[in-house]
Amino acid sequence: MRHDRAHRTVPRPRRRAVAGAAAGVYLTHTGQAAEEQREIAALLYAGPFGVLTGAAALRRHGLPAGRPGTGRSVADAAGVVNVLVPLTTQRADVGFARLHRTGRLPEGFCVAGETRFAFVPRAVADAVRPLTDLNDVRAVVAEAVQRRKCSIGHLAKELAEGPARGSGLFRRALAEVAEGVRSAVEAELRDLIRWARLPTPLYNPRLLVGDEFLAMPDCWWPDSGVAGEADSRAWHFSPDDWEQTLARHARMSSHGIIVLHITAHRIRSQRREVADEIRRALAVGRQLPQIRTISADQSHALAVGRRR
C-alpha cells in the first residue's frame, strides 16, 4: 500500500485506488483490500494524528465487537472504519473512512506496525454509542469485562468524560455488568427477575465449600440455595461446552443447590412461566451454610469512575 505523497515505486498502470477509500490511497496488488489494509488506508487518509477506535480497535485487542456465536460484528456496519482525529482536521468522511473530530484525542494509544488504535475503554465507548439495540450494547460491554480487557472503573471513567449523546444504553449496560452480569442473555434474565419482582440475586458470584471452588452460577440466591443458569446457544455450540455445563450442574446439585436452567428463548417468550418456576424454587429451597459466597458486584466502581 502506498500514499500518493510518498515516492511511487509501482508502475502507474498497476496502481488501484482502495475501493471506497479516499483519493491518494492505493493498493499495490489486484483484488479486494483486506480488513487490515482498509484500516491502514483510513489512517493514511486521516493523517499522522489519527487513531483507530470502535470496532476496528476492538478487533486489534482480540474482541469481536458483536454478539458471541452470531459471526457478525454489531459495531461496524457496512465495513466502516472509525478514526479519531484532532478538531483542526479539515478532511471529510469518504468511502469507508469515518473521521471523528474530537477535543478528547487519546493521550496514549496502542501501536502495532503502522497501525495506531485506542485502548479498550475508549474503543468500547465509541463502538456502543451509535448502537440502538440494548442487547448489542450489552454484548460489547460485557465481553470486554468478561475477558478482562478492561475494568469497570475504566469504562465508568470513559462514560463520565465522554459525550452524553448516545450514552444511555452504554450507562445501562455498564450498570448491569457492574452488578456481575457478564452476557446479554444474563442481562435479559436480570430484567425478567426485576419485572417479576423476585428477590434480587447475586450475579456470577464465586461459590466455595471451605477453600475449594465449587462453581460460578449466572445468578445465586444464597438465602434459598438456588442457582440460575441462563443457557445460550452461543455457549453450547460444542460438546465440550455442554459437558462443562453438566459437570457444573452435578457439582452444585451434590451440595444441595437447586439448579435452574433457563434458555434465552424462554426468557423472551415464557416470562411468566419462568418467573413462577424461580418463585417456587425459592419457596422450597433452604440456606446452605457450608457454601461460602464471594460477590462479583462492583457497583462501587461506577461512583469511583465518575469522581475521577
Same domain, 42 and 138: yes
| Residue at grid coordinates 452435578 | 250
Is the domain of 45 the same as that of 152? Answer: yes
What burial class does residue 87 get, using C-beta atoms within 10 Å of its C-beta: 0-12 exposed, 13-18 middle, 19+ buried? exposed
Is 306 part of any domain?
no
Number of domains into which the chain is organized: 2
What is the residue-level pLDDT of the chain in tens, covering all 308 positions? 544 444 343 343 444 444 455 545 545 444 445 788 889 999 999 999 999 999 999 999 999 776 555 445 555 556 789 999 999 999 999 888 999 999 999 989 999 998 999 999 999 999 999 999 999 999 999 999 999 999 999 999 999 999 999 899 999 999 999 999 998 999 999 999 999 999 999 999 999 999 999 999 999 999 999 999 998 765 445 667 778 888 999 999 999 999 999 999 999 999 999 999 999 999 999 999 999 999 999 988 887 555 55
Place of cell 444441595: 256
Q: Which residue has the cell 444504553?
A: 169
Alpha-carbon span 299 to 301, nearest angstrom = 5
In a shared domain, residues 207 and 279: yes
How far apart are the C-alpha atoms of 3 and 182, rounded to whole Å?
A: 43
Domain carrying residue 288: 185-294
Q: Are residues 237 and 90 in the same domain?
A: no
Assess whether 54 and 99 both reside in one domain: yes
Whether residue 107 is contained in a domain is answered as yes
Strands 219-221 and 226-231 turn out to be antiparallel
The span from the CA of 180 to the CA of 217, in Å, is: 11
Answer yes or no: is 305 within a domain: no
Residues 12 and 155 in one domain: yes
Spatial distance between the Cα atoms of 153 and 144, rounded to a whole number of angstroms: 12
Phi, psi of 38 (to 5 degrees): -65, -40
The count of other CB atoms within 10 Å of the CB of residue 103 is 6
